[in-house]
């Protein structure tokens, strides 16, 4: 993965460390892009990460097994996603020196705690789903009306 390799900065070292004394305000954190929060958020908001985490909740799974379940994902992206998750210590990768090769992935304890956290996010979403849908519809209606006033 040459492209990904380019962005060594992903989490390597340039990250600006802020002293805790500065973090008393509830939302001071996200004023900086480099903040950890952004890193994590990017991961869970990743196109596939969430899927994989969710799938791994119940059981440990093999590479192609995950591939089949997620289905839409390409081999490359599954690898990338898994690597990211592994790097963050969210999933564990176990390689069995067998023939044929077998690699199993499972959620780490840390990953499991994240599971609960994202669930609260999901709860919020499901709870306000219709409100948002309504707001969107209304907004689109207004936009449509504003943009096509003389159509009729």
Using rule CB under 7 A, residue 136 touches DNA: no
Using rule CB under 8 A, residue 79 touches a second copy: no
Separation between Cα atoms, residue 57 and residue 55, nearest integer Å: 5
Binding site partner of 102, from a second copy, DNA, none, Cβ cut-off 5-8 A by kind: DNA
Using rule CB under 7 A, residue 103 touches DNA: yes
Binding site partner of 29, from DNA, a second copy, none, Cβ cut-off 5-8 A by kind: a second copy
Using rule CB under 7 A, residue 4 touches DNA: yes
Which residue, 100, 101, 46, is CA-closest to 78?
A: 46
What b/e readout covers 27-58, taking b as 16+ CB neighbours within 10 angstroms? Answer: eeeeeeeebeeeeeeebbebebbbbbbbbbee
| Residue pair 145/137 in contact by the 8 Å Cβ criterion | no
Using rule CB under 7 A, residue 12 touches DNA: no
Please pick, from the candidates 66, 82, 88, 105, the single residue that binds a second copy as defined by CB under 8 A: 88
Binding site partner of 145, from a second copy, DNA, none, Cβ cut-off 5-8 A by kind: none
Q: Looking at 24-32, 80-88, 109-117, 132-140, which segment touches DNA (CB under 7 A)?
A: 80-88
Please pick, from the candidates 63, 108, 112, 118, the single residue that binds DNA as defined by CB under 7 A: 63
Separation between Cα atoms, residue 54 and residue 76, nearest integer Å: 19
Please pick, from the candidates 28, 75, 113, 129, the single residue that binds DNA as defined by CB under 7 A: 75
Separation between Cα atoms, residue 105 and residue 116, nearest integer Å: 19
Please pick, from the candidates 51, 52, 56, 73, the single residue that binds DNA as defined by CB under 7 A: 73
**Token pair recorded at residue 50:** 């969430």
């Amino acid at each position: 993965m040459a492209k990904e390799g380019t962005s060594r900065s992903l989490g390597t070292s340039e990250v600006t460390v802020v002293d805790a004394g500065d973090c008393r305000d509830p939302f001071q954190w996200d004023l900086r892009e480099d903040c950890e929060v952004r890193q994590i958020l990017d991961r869970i908001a990743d196109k596939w990460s969430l899927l994989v985490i969710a799938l791994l909740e119940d059981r440990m799974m093999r590479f192609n097994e995950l591939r089949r379940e997620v289905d839409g994902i390409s081999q490359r992206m599954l690898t990338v996603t898994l690597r990211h998750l592994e790097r963050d210590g969210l999933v564990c990768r176990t390689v069995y020196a067998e023939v044929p090769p077998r690699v199993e992935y499972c959620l780490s304890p840390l990953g499991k705690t994240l599971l609960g956290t994202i669930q609260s996010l999901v709860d919020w979403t499901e709870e306000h789903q219709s409100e948002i849908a309504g707001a969107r519809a209304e907004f689109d209606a207004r936009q449509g009306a504003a943009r096509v006033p003389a159509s009729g």
